[in-house]
Amino acid sequence: MAQEDQRREKMSNDGNSIIGLHNRNLALTSTDAYATALDIDCRNVRSSVFTLFCITNDLKYEIWATADWLPDHTTMTGTDATDYANGWVQIKAETTLTAAAAPVIETLDNPYNKVVVRVKAAVGASQGVLDIYHRGEN
């Protein structure tokens, strides 16, 4: 399944509105190399929660972000040194998701412009399936 980006939700109308942003990618099958599971425009997001559930076969994930101005930012290359030089930072180092274990929750409270969650198979040629959800608010 492809990434789904829901419309922003306005949760109050008192002059200090909270805007929620929802993204998800369900039944995503991994590859042997890191691939993007979610790519989120976070310019209006100040706090995020990610829920990652590994359905089958262990996976590895990492979270990257950039504060670079989006019209000028460079897409991730997948080579750490190049991505660092292009303004990307790894905000969650490689972590293993165990198949069928309780979902993992990651939170982010920094104002980045773009956040990317990447996944790959923990064991080569043993592809896993992942459900990933994001909710952000300002």
The yes or no reply on domain 23-137 and CATH 2.60.120.680 is yes
Q: Residue 66, CB half-sphere, CA atoms under 13 Å: how many?
A: 20
Strand partners, 117: 38, 63
pTM here?
Answer: 0.87
Q: What is the pLDDT of residues 87-110, one digit of tens each?
A: 999 999 999 999 999 999 999 987
CA–CA distance, 23 with 108 (Å, rounded to integer): 15
Query: How many CB atoms are closer than 10 A to CB 16?
Result: 6
- pLDDT for residue 28 is more than 80: yes
pLDDT 10s digits, 10-24: 666 666 666 788 899
